[in-house]
Amino acid sequence: MKVHPSQVVAGCMIIQDVMGKTNRPIIPKNTVVHPIHMRVLNQFKVGVVEVANRLSDGSPFIPEESIEYNEVEEHKKQESQESLSTLSFQEQYLEAVQAYKKWFEDWRGGTPVDISAVRKVMVPLLERAAQSNRDVFLLHHFSSKDDYYYHHSVAVGLLSGYIASKMNYSYGDWIQIGLAGVLSDSGMAKVEARIINKTGALREEEFNQIRKHPTYSYRYVEKTPLLTQNAKLAILQHHERLDGSGYPLGLQQGKIHSYSQIIAVSDMYHAMTSERAYRKKHSPFRVLEEIQKEQFGRFDHTVVQAFIKEMTNYSQGTKVKLSNNQKAAIVFVESSHPTRPMVQLEDQSIYALRDHHDLYIEEVLD
């Protein structure tokens, strides 16, 4: 366990080298603490010491509360929050994408998933995204086809956490759902790079590799105490479909966890609205219509309706570009046709898009 030096007592077992400013250990690991070591820790102003949970005599080590430690941790937390507050949402998002890219390369090399590191980057971003549907709706703009998988994982986590928060899940639950979304494709690190980067159609044996990635993702996280069992199931099941057509287990309705359905819808939405190496991106509103069609038999109706409601939650006057390149403003959104609102063109004419199936919103402009 990690403790402040003021919490260390004689008999503690140091289990990690205590490093000095010269990057050399001032107290080596496996040292039994004596009063002299406690003085050294104080004189060298060491911030944190990692010790065993039992003393050298075998009795449990239960550290007393440390005011100094709390102050140090609070100061670090405040500094981190102040640093993040100076970044725009896009900048913070792009930093998270770069962090994920580094994690992904580490996983490829055999490094285990560090949930604490993922939480440190993603929890503040999830909290920020939950406060602004506008930022969440624009995530596909930030994606690039070269770094698609890194963008996709971060975006799916943010979309999943956002939708779960709007479905009235508790804070702890929607944070877990968001983290599960981020890590749902971590198992792609075990899939051959040539398959991930292939621009043409996959052969059957190549797609079979892709089908294994939810299982690989689950194996990465199955033993961590920092994710709930529900979140772990969501990672394993995020490609399952209610009609049994999904993978890796072909589960059907009744055996698929609700968390996984939130990630599944978020995954499909971001994948189809982003530019990929093998195809161009689609209009968000057309994708939402496709998801509406897919909900019957494949996706949970409650999740789909919540997703569409939040992603089409635009105020009157919102500027949009239509599929014929004309600009318009949203006048009214009907709850029965949320992806096809009534719009006013620049010439002041009004169109009810539900009556013009060849015309749709290509992009939101503001």
| Helix, strand, coil distribution of the chain in percent, nearest 5 | 50, 10, 40
pLDDT digits (tens, 9 = 90+) for 227-239: 999 999 999 999 9
pLDDT digits (tens, 9 = 90+) for 263-291: 999 999 999 998 775 567 888 888 988 88
Tell me what the mean pLDDT of segment 76-100 comes to: 75
Confidence of residue 86 (pLDDT cuts 50, 70, 90): confident
Tell me how far apart the alpha carbons of residues 259 and 262 are, in angstroms, rounded to a whole number. 5
Is pTM beyond 0.85 here? no
**Mean pLDDT across the chain, nearest whole number?**
88
Domain boundaries, the chain: 2-74, 87-311, 319-364
Q: Is there a contact between 157 and 126 (Cβ–Cβ < 8 Å)? A: yes
Both tokens of 229, joined, read 């069992």
Whether residue 296 has pLDDT greater than 80: no
Confidence of residue 81 (pLDDT cuts 50, 70, 90): low
Q: What's the CATH number for 87-311?
A: 1.10.3210.10
Strands 49-50 and 327-332: unpaired
Q: What is the pLDDT of residue 63?
A: 85
Q: Is there a contact between 342 and 332 (Cβ–Cβ < 8 Å)? A: yes
Confidence of residue 71 (pLDDT cuts 50, 70, 90): very low
pLDDT digits (tens, 9 = 90+) for 251-262: 999 999 999 999
Confidence of residue 21 (pLDDT cuts 50, 70, 90): low
Q: What is the pLDDT of residue 279?
A: 66
Both tokens of 131, joined, read 């406060």
Segment holding 320, helix H or strand E: strand 319-322
Tell me what the mean pLDDT of segment 183-195 comes to: 96
